[in-house]
Amino acid sequence: MDMLALGAVGVVAALFAVMVRQRAPEMALVLAMAACVLLLWNTLPLLESIRDVMEELASLTEISPTLLRPMLQTVGLALVTKLAAALCRDAGEGSLAAFVEVAGAAAAVLVALPLLKMVLQLVMGLL
């Protein structure tokens, strides 16, 4: 699916969710979640292409894959966190959305710690 089709699916799903929300708010949430899963499923090949290009660039510059992995994981965590928080807000659970964001940030920091360790080792080696 190209971006135009993905955008159209998102807009149509949002319009249907607005219409359904008037009579059955819980069904509107299920509809939004189903649309998110459909869009995410069709976006995965794009993310795989990005990963492949980044790995190719890393090999050209002789960057270790151990440096690339945390960065990709952090980006993935950010996307999942944003999606989960948006769904929580759509369900009217703002406080749950805030907690999801805090948990996502903590997970991103945890994943990025090996990068920080490598940077500190590099700086210490230069001193």
Task: List Cα–Cα distances, 110 to 68, 74, 77, 83, 98, in angstroms.
Answer: 15, 9, 11, 20, 18
Residue 102 lies inside a defined structural domain of this protein: yes
Instruction: Please name the residue that has the structure tokens 């945890």.
Output: 110
Residue 10 lies inside a defined structural domain of this protein: no
Residue 23 lies inside a defined structural domain of this protein: no
Residue 110 lies inside a defined structural domain of this protein: yes
Over the stretch 12-69, which tens digit does the pLDDT of each residue have?
888 888 888 888 888 888 888 888 888 888 888 887 888 888 888 878 877 777 777 8
Residue 87 lies inside a defined structural domain of this protein: yes
CA distance 81 to 85: 6
Answer yes or no: pTM beyond 0.85: no
Over the stretch 64-88, which tens digit does the pLDDT of each residue have?
777 778 888 888 899 889 989 998 8
Range of the domain at 125: 64-127
